[in-house]
Every structure is written in structure tokens, then in C-alpha cells.
Amino acid sequence: MTPEIRPLVAGNWKMNGTRESLNELKAIAAGIGALSEKIDLLICPPATLLYVATALVTDSPLKIGAQDCHTAKSGAFTGDISAEMIADCFGTFAIVGHSERRTLHGEGDGLVRAKAIAAHEADLTAIVCIGETEAERKGGTTLDVLNRQLAGSVPDGATAENTVIAYEPVWAIGTGLTPTVEDVREAHAFMRGELVSRFGSKGAKMRLLYGGSVKPSNAKELMSVVNVDGALIGGASLKSADFLAISQVYAEISA
Ligand SMILES: O=C[C@H](O)COP(=O)(O)O
């Protein structure tokens, strides 16, 4: 955590979730209670559930976001959704540059940056994902990768309000593996330094999430690391009990 930065616990449901999953969403909303006094909570369901999800949580502090957005406001882009459409569904966040988009859809830093700009123009907060592959870590180039992706993917107009950075080592996603606390500390300190040197006080206040196999059992040691201001959770966010348990850990540390 970073003193004076309000943590964000975000769930990315990826391509998981049907109407039945809305029961988990309702359980999360119902279980937030006092957690929202200390932390922000966000769920990014698949686009098919976006509108109904926001409609279900209107009386809850739970925020709803999307997993991606196109760079254009509208047009002939079959299968895509725009940041405007997300905002029209009352979504307030968009994940951009997730490693699954970078790897499986060939998205590079320039495109990720353009998507973040599109999100900002629609008044969404962009969660810009970065992180090294296993080969890059083994090759000792982790910080070079983070440097390149931060410089290339984060737009010049980024502020602490409109941008969140998520560090997700690709090899830790969905594998049950996590970096050591020291590795997380090093990566997040590096990112903070880069952001402060580029954005000044705005960079000092930007939220830096850790993502990759976060579970209730490891949330405390990850969240206790300086400059870790929350989590981006995949698998464990599909179960309301796990998502709330992780959120509880973060709220206690922030108390
Ligand atoms: O966006 C979330 C991440 O890819 C982490 O996924 P995971 O928690 O299933 O490892």
C-alpha cells in the first residue's frame, strides 16, 4: 500500500459469466458493507453483462467496468465496443492492454495508449496493464519491459483520477505462481519512480495494482508491499466469497 492512496480491488471476469453469474455480483454488492469506507471495489464482467450489471448495483458502491475498449467512438468494427458504449451502460472503468489482449490479439503499446485515450475521452478510468513474460523475467529484462510498456502505453494526459496501472507478470496469471515479495517491491518501486519522473505529483498518487494469482491466502503479503495499491484479480473474483475475503484484507491493511 501507499499512504494516502485509496486502494482499488478490481475483478476481471474475462470470458466467464452468464446471467447466472449475476448472483455472484449481487452477493458482492450485498457483502461490501463497511469495506467501501476504506477501498474502492470494481468488477469487470464480460460486455454481455455490462448493462444489467450496472443496473443491479445502482444502490451499491460497487463499480462496474469493461475489459477492453476500441479506440474509435463508433463505426464499422465488428465485435468491438467503444468507450462511449461502456459509459452509456454506466460503466466507469475500462481495462486496456491486458496481456491476453497483447498476446492473443497482437495489441502493442501504441494501440493500448490509444485505447486509454479513448477511455479518458469517455470519462472512464483506464486500467493500463503491463508485465513481463516468463522469458523476459528469466532474461533479466523485467524492468526494461516495464519501462517500455509504461512509456508506450500510458498517455501523456494520464492523471491519478483517470488512470490506474496494473502490474501483471504474465507467467503469474492463472498459474498459481506469484513473484516474491521482494520482486513485487522492486517492480512497483520502479513503476512509481518512472511515473513520478514523468507525471510529478500525479504519478505519486496513481494507483498501482498487482495482478496474477491473487487469492485470499496471499493477499496480505502482496498488499503489504509498499506501492501496491490494490489488486487486479481474475479467477478469484468469480467467487463472491473469495473476492470479498481479499477485499477485507485490503480494507484492514488500509485502516
Ligand atoms: O486480470 C486479471 C489477471 O489476469 C489475473 O488473473 P488470475 O487472478 O486468474 O491470475
Summarize pLDDT for 88-109 with one digit per residue, the tens. 999 999 999 999 999 999 999 9
* Residue 161, pLDDT score: 97
In the reported structure, the alpha carbon of residue 61 is separated from the centroid of ligand 1 by a whole-number distance in angstroms of 23
* Residue 2, pLDDT score: 81
Question: Does the annotation flag 110 for ligand binding?
Answer: no
Q: Is residue 2 in some structural domain?
A: no
Q: Is residue 3 in some structural domain?
A: no
Q: Is residue 119 in some structural domain?
A: yes
Q: Which residues pair with 52 in a beta bridge?
A: none
* Residue 4, pLDDT score: 87
Domain ranges, residue 94: 8-253
Q: Is residue 1 in some structural domain?
A: no
* Residue 102, pLDDT score: 98
Q: Which residue from 116, 185, 186 is spatially nearest to 156, judged by alpha carbons?
A: 116
* Residue 60, pLDDT score: 97
Q: Is residue 133 in some structural domain?
A: yes
Q: pLDDT per residue over 59-91, tens digit each?
A: 999 999 999 999 999 999 999 999 999 999 999
Q: Which residue lies with its CA nearest to atom 6 of ligand 1? A: 234
Q: Is residue 249 in some structural domain?
A: yes
Q: Is residue 199 in some structural domain?
A: yes
CA atoms of 31 and 199, how far apart (whole Å): 36
The CATH number linked to 112 is 3.20.20.70
* Residue 3, pLDDT score: 78
Residue ranges in the chain whose pLDDT is less than 70 = none
Q: Which of 100, 132, 168, 194 is catalytic?
A: 168
| Atom of ligand 1 minimally distant from the CA of 214 | 8
Residue 98 annotated among the catalytic residues of the structure: yes
Taking the whole predicted model, whether its pTM rises above 0.95 is answered as: yes
CA atoms of 46 and 197, how far apart (whole Å): 35
- Tally the domains of the chain: 1
